[in-house]
C-alpha cells in the first residue's frame, strides 16, 4: 500500500469552500501524476491537523471525489485513488511543463506578479478553449518566438 503525501493548501480568502479546494487540489495531483491508482489519500484527521479544517470538510471532499469515480473508500483502510486524470503530455516531466516553467520565470523577471501571470494564463485558456474541445485541439497561435 502506497501512502502518497498530499499537502492541501486551504486559502480562506479565496471565496472557494475548503472542501472544493481539496477536490480541486486532488484533481490537480491526479492530472499531474502525483497521485496514481492505488495511492492512499491522507486521513481526514491528518488533513484536519495539517490544514486546520474540520475532518468533515475532508470527508465531504472525498465523497465528492468518490461520486466522480476518482477515489474509493475501503472500510478500515482509508481512501484510495481509483483512476487517474493524467495524460502523458500533461505531467511535470513533459516538455510542455518545462516550457511553461520557463515562461513563468520570464514573466516574473519582467516584473509580473503571481496574480498577473494567473490572469494572463486564464485569458489565454479562455481564448483557446472558448469554442469547445474540438477547436482547442486544432487552433494554432503565435508563441511570440
CB atoms near residue 116 (< 10 Å): 13
pLDDT range class, residue 141, cuts 50, 70, 90: very low
Q: Which of 140, 144, 64, 68 is nearest to 99 (CA)?
A: 144
pLDDT of residue 47: 93
- Mean pLDDT across the chain: 86
Q: What is the pLDDT of residues 28-76, one digit of tens each?
A: 999 988 899 999 999 999 999 999 999 999 999 999 999 999 999 999 9
pLDDT of residue 2: 57
Cell 510542455, residue located: 96
pLDDT of residue 140: 44
Amino acid at each position: 500500500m502506497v501512502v502518497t503525501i498530499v499537502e492541501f493548501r486551504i486559502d480562506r480568502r479565496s471565496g472557494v469552500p475548503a472542501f472544493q479546494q481539496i477536490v480541486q487540489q486532488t484533481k490537480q495531483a491526479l492530472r499531474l501524476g502525483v497521485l496514481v491508482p492505488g495511492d492512499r489519500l491522507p486521513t481526514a484527521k491528518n488533513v484536519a491537523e495539517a490544514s486546520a479544517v474540520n475532518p468533515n470538510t475532508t470527508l465531504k471532499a472525498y465523497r465528492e471525489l468518490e461520486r466522480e469515480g476518482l477515489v474509493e473508500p475501503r472500510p478500515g483502510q482509508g481512501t484510495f485513488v481509483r483512476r487517474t486524470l493524467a495524460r502523458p503530455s500533461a505531467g511535470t516531466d513533459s516538455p510542455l511543463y518545462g516550457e511553461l516553467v520557463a515562461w513563468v520565470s520570464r514573466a516574473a523577471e519582467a516584473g509580473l506578479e503571481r496574480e498577473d501571470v494567473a490572469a494572463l494564463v486564464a485569458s489565454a485558456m479562455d481564448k483557446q478553449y472558448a469554442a469547445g474541445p474540438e477547436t482547442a485541439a486544432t487552433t494554432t497561435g503565435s508563441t511570440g518566438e
